[in-house]
Amino acid sequence: MNKSHLAAQEFLKKGLPLHILINNSGIMNCPFALSADGIETQFAVNHMGHFVFTMGLLDRIKESQPSRIVILSSFGHELTPKHMNGIDFDTINDEAKFSNVDRYARSKLANVLFGKALARRLASEKVWVNVAHPGYVATNLDRSTKEVWGDFADKVFRMVTYIAAMSPSVGALTQLYLATSPEVESKDI
């Protein structure tokens, strides 16, 4: 989280306004590991980095109104096991308790919950907060699939990606719309 905090501080030092913030870092299908901060890696990268960065810049974003915050998530948040009843922070670093898919889903659920909570808190401001699922986009998000699931799964995943995934330039359209379209403000999206 230190890098996210430092990046926010570096931006603030420039004294520039901040009208648009898009949180778009992510990983999936990676081996279990803890970040330098002692947080499960997928949760650290997919959610905590966004959270720390956004909160570090929030005063500047509010000063720069009208502003927008777009948080990339995934329909993968729907894969969060129903028995979890949200996010159990006491077991977030328990490798044995959750599968790789569960850990990814939990990180994406955290993005959705954070976005909704932030939107509620900023409802009286001219700061629009949206959480977006970009669709199935051909990126290197799955770069660790072979290491985690093996050769066959990696080949299948790559073939499906080749056939079904959209290009990154098309995949970026959702977040660009939320960041720039006048409809976000006029229709209060």
pLDDT in tens, 47-58: 999 999 999 999
More confident residue, 1 or 167: 167
**148 part of a folded domain:** no
**157 part of a folded domain:** no
Mean pLDDT, range 32-36, rounded to an integer: 91
Structural domain containing residue 124 = 2-134+172-186
Residue 101 carries which side chain, given as an amino acid letter? Answer: V
Residue 122 maps to which CATH number? 3.40.50.720
Domain tally, the chain? 1
**153 part of a folded domain:** no
Residue 86 has pLDDT above 80, yes or no: no
Q: Give CA–CA dist 104/29, Å, rounded.
A: 8
pTM assigned to the model: 0.85
Active site members? 104
Confidence of residue 28 (pLDDT cuts 50, 70, 90): confident
**53 part of a folded domain:** yes
**46 part of a folded domain:** yes
